[in-house]
Structure 1
Amino acid sequence: MTDSDLHKRREILFSRFPPGQIPEAADHLHRLENLSTEAKLEKRAVDVSYDLRHHTLENLENQLQDKGFHLDNTLMSKLVRALIYYVEETQLHNLGATERPLKQSQEAYVQAWERHPHGDHDETPPEWREYK
């Protein structure tokens, strides 16, 4: 995963009420480190740009809601938000995942295969096999 994959630019949408919350929310987010913001009053949104190693959209939106800001809760916004949360969580999980060399994983299968009995082996009892 490259650094460009970890750099995110998102839009946080706000509800119409209470009015005037967009500049306050942008100011609140602007105080956080490793985050740039831009208020978009005409869209009732705040553009945020961040590195996934420092912030996630879910954490930023939770902070805003904890401070009393009201996010847009239309169905489309909820769906997009849930998808972004999932994608970012998956990317973070993949960052922490260690890469396993293929050779080591194959060795486990080879060892299991060597211990497994081979050949024509019928587990049916002899008296059932010869039943006529």
Structure 2
Amino acid sequence: MSKLLEDCIQHDIVFNPSAIEQASAAAHFLAQLKGIQAQAFPAEHKITIRYSLRDYALLDIEQQLQHAGFELDTHFWQKVKRELVHYSETVQRDNLAMPEHNLKSPQIYIHVWEKHPHGDHDDTPEELRRYL
């Protein structure tokens, strides 16, 4: 799987239902930004966006929309959902910034095996093992 597909994120942004036609206008607004795909669902007052986590975070996109005059839905569950996504994206972006470790190297497992008791130890003296 390519790196581009690994960090591609899709989320819905729900707008205030009292503000008319915000979904279509917001999708057009976000389509101007490089690396963001937006699809409007005007009947549901929402847009579905797709973007790379390396380039954007939902919090940044929402702030740009609010700065442009769009009103996000302020119902309790929408706020909770957005905060959860903001937190998880922060963690994901931090993890993307960390270097990858070579976990396929057998030396790592050999070292761990030697240092930790693993229950594969025979207390029989060496001289008796030869005769049995």
TM-score normalised by L of structure 2: 0.71
Deviations 1:66-119 (A, max 9, x none): 01100001110000100000000101011112357897xxxxxxxxxxxxxxxx
2:92 maps to amino acid: Q
Q: Are 2:122 and 1:98 equivalent residues in the alignment?
A: no
CA RMSD of aligned residues (A): 2.1
The equivalent residue for 1:76 is 77
- Structure 1 gaps, min length 5: 104-132
SS at match of 2:39: strand
| Counterpart-to-counterpart distance in 1, 2:22 and 2:89 | 26
| Counterpart-to-counterpart distance in 2, 1:24 and 1:92 | 29
Please say which structure displays the higher CA radius of gyration.
1
User: How many residues of Structure 1 are paired with residues of Structure 2 in the alignment?
Assistant: 104
The equivalent residue for 1:48 is 49
SS at match of 1:18: coil
Runs of 4+ deviating beyond 6 Å: 100-103
| Counterpart-to-counterpart distance in 2, 1:29 and 1:100 | 36
User: Is the contact made by 1:17 and 1:70 (CA closer than 8 Å) also made in structure 2?
Assistant: no
- TM-superposed CA distance for 1:41, in Å, is 1.0
User: Is the contact made by 1:52 and 1:92 (CA closer than 8 Å) also made in structure 2?
Assistant: yes
SS at match of 2:70: coil
Percent of paired sites with the same residue? 29
- Structure 2 gaps, min length 5: 109-132
SS at match of 1:36: strand
| Counterpart-to-counterpart distance in 2, 1:101 and 1:29 | 38
Residue correspondence of structure 1 range 13-92 to structure 2 within 5 A: 13-92=14-93
User: Is the contact made by 1:29 and 1:37 (CA closer than 8 Å) also made in structure 2?
Assistant: yes
